[in-house]
């Protein structure tokens, strides 16, 4: 049996570490801040898979300042890494996790400024650092660049919930949409929900990372986005093609350029959020969407009354499910 110390409760790093353990199929129990492992599952295969992801390039960017950590994560023989989990007698807490919330713990406004020299970064075990980086790569849901900044959406397990209920995590990058950078906060949640409607415990976190700075710009717990997820679960159970039709608002560049369709997508997301929050009725949402799409311009004719009706019914059912859930 091996024991690893987890990052502090409430940190994204902890969510990521537990997500990676679940993804490997490891047999483990968590007691406080300690994870007791009977085995590490298919960690070797998962590590190799991570090294092929785009997120591995983010580790490489830090290689000049954190050579010890990055060489372990990216270069050391995967079999030896797995062996270290059980055979390394000395816990090594010299691994600075290159993630925003740990950087923010240094009390730098807006995130971490990597240019400073007098820093006291939180240090964690190399096992937790490795697992957290693996999860950052494997649970990416979208990734785009704005100028020289990477914006990454990830879906780790929300460790506020009982992790035992989260054995079937979704680790595939499903979102293949354009113009995500033009979406509002609720627009991104709406986009996530339509693609991950079978999600039962994963939250949505959006990171903004550059060469010398990192910060969390959005952190949506599973509980906060579950109503939107339920809406899309209900809609997808009726017609999965509706998702692709709404995505035309983002993917049809002519529609985006000529009719500002990304704004329409954001409006629809806001209407649905207001409905599940109880501010407006599902019937009002249906009217608002119709008014802003096919009743306004024939360019939006692909959004049909039947589509809007299915979304209205999905909202109504989600509201009932929330009211009567234990």
DSSP states of 249-316 as a string?
HHH-HHHHHHH-HHHHHHHHHHHHHHHHTTSS-HHHHHHHHHHHTTTT-GGGTTS-HHHHHHHHHHHH
Q: Are residues 273 and 225 in the same domain?
A: no
- Crossing angle of helices 12-24 and 126-138, in 10° steps, is 80
The per-residue pLDDT for 14 is 87
Same domain (yes/no): 144, 235: no
Residue 116 in domain: yes
Residues 170 and 270 in one domain: no
Q: Looking at the domain assignment, is residue 250 inside a domain? A: yes
Residues 21 and 136 in one domain: yes
210 found inside a domain: no
> What per-residue confidence (pLDDT) applies to 326?
53
- Regarding whether 167 and 86 lie in a shared domain, the answer is yes
Residue 147 lies in a domain: yes
Q: Are residues 296 and 227 in the same domain?
A: no
Closest CA to 152 of 116, 192, 125, 110: 192
Q: Are residues 31 and 141 in the same domain?
A: yes
> Does 202 reside within a domain?
no
Contact residues for 26 (Cβ-Cβ < 8 A; gap 6+): 37, 38, 39, 40, 41, 43
Residues 225 and 90 in one domain: no
**Within-domain flag for 183:** no
170 & 228 share domain: no
Query: Domain range holding 156?
Result: 2-174
User: What's the pLDDT at 148?
Assistant: 82
pTM of the model: 0.88
Q: Same structural domain for residues 126 and 234?
A: no
Per-residue confidence (pLDDT) for residue 109, from 0 to 100: 36
Distance of CA 235 to the CA centre of its chain: 22
Q: How many domains is the chain built from?
A: 3
Same domain, 144 and 271: no
Q: Is residue 199 part of a domain?
A: no
Q: Is residue 50 one of the residues assigned to a domain? A: yes
Domain boundary, last residue among 255, 274, 302: 255
**Mean pLDDT, consecutive 10-residue segments, the chain of 326 residues?**
81 88 89 86 90 79 66 86 70 55 43 44 73 89 88 91 78 91 97 95 89 80 95 95 96 97 98 96 97 96 97 95 66
Can you tell me whether residue 87 is helix, strand or coil? helix
Helices (H), the chain: 12-24, 43-50, 56-61, 67-74, 78-87, 100-104, 126-138, 185-195, 222-238, 241-251, 253-259, 261-276, 282-292, 305-324
> Is residue 105 located within the same domain as residue 66?
yes
């Amino acid at each position: 049996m091996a024991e690893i110390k987890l990052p502090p409760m409430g940190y994204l790093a902890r969510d990521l570490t537990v997500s990676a353990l679940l993804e490997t199929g490891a047999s483990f129990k968590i007691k406080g801040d300690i994870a007791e492992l009977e085995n590490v599952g298919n960690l070797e295969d998962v590590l190799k898979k991570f090294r092929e992801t785009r997120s591995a390039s983010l580790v490489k960017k830090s290689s000049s300042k954190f050579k010890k950590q990055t060489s372990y994560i990216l270069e050391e023989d995967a079999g030896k890494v797995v062996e270290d989990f059980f055979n390394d007698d000395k816990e090594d807490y010299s691994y600075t996790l290159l993630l925003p919330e740990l950087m923010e713990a240094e009390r730098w406004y807006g995130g971490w400024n990597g240019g400073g020299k007098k820093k006291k970064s939180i240090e964690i075990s190399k096992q937790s650092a490795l697992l957290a980086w693996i999860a950052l790569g494997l649970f990416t849901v979208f990734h785009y660049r704005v100028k020289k900044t990477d914006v990454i959406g990830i879906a780790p397990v929300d460790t506020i919930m009982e992790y035992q209920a989260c054995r079937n995590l979704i680790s595939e990058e499903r979102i293949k949409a354009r113009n995500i950078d033009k979406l509002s906060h609720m627009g991104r949640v709406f986009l996530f929900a339509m693609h991950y409607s079978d999600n039962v415990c994963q939250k949505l976190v959006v990171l903004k990372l550059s060469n010398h700075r990192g910060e969390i710009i959005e952190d949506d717990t599973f509980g906060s986005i579950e109503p939107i997820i339920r809406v899309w679960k209900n809609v997808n159970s009726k017609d999965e093609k509706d998702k692709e039709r709404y995505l035309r608002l983002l993917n049809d560049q002519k529609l985006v350029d000529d009719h500002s369709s990304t704004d329409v997508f954001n409006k629809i997301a806001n209407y649905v959020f207001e409905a599940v929050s109880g501010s407006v009725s599902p019937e009002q949402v249906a009217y608002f969407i119709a008014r802003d799409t096919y009743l306004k311009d024939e360019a939006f004719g692909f959004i049909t009354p039947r589509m809007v009706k299915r979304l209205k019914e999905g909202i109504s059912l989600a509201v009932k499910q929330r009211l009567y859930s234990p």
